[in-house]
Structure 1
Amino acid sequence: MRAVWFKSSHSTNEGGACVEVAVTDDSVRIRDSKDATRRHLTVARAEWVRFVRTAARG
């Protein structure tokens, strides 16, 4: 399965500090948008959900 990468609509390119994510059936892939050729990080979808919920709480 080919990954479809996207950035958040809230991301900013000021300073180039952005990440991209690609969601699959069982995982989420995360990469540096400034250098898409570098290896990506893969986490389980459940872990990603916990991360996003925690980040949203501040």
Structure 2
Amino acid sequence: MCEANVYMEQNGREDLLLASVDVIEPQADGSLRMVNIFGEQKVVRAAIKCMCLVDHRIVLAP
């Protein structure tokens, strides 16, 4: 499987935003749209801080 869990880093901790994400698309307004393998979607204003695809982990920062 190629999906990853996406976390938001805030106040020194990482909170899970969406599990099993297989699509991340930048939007015109600067936000990121994420879609997981179950069709769930989230849009957040954030930047990618770190991607570790071997660990299936993406960390965002507001």
After TM superposition, is the score higher than 0.5? no
Task: Give 1 or 2: higher helix fraction.
Answer: 1
Q: Which has the higher contact order (CA 8 A, sep 6+)?
A: 2
Task: Give 1 or 2: higher strand fraction.
Answer: 2
Report the TM range for the smaller structure's normalisation. Answer: 0.3 to 0.5
TM-score (normalised: structure 2): 0.39
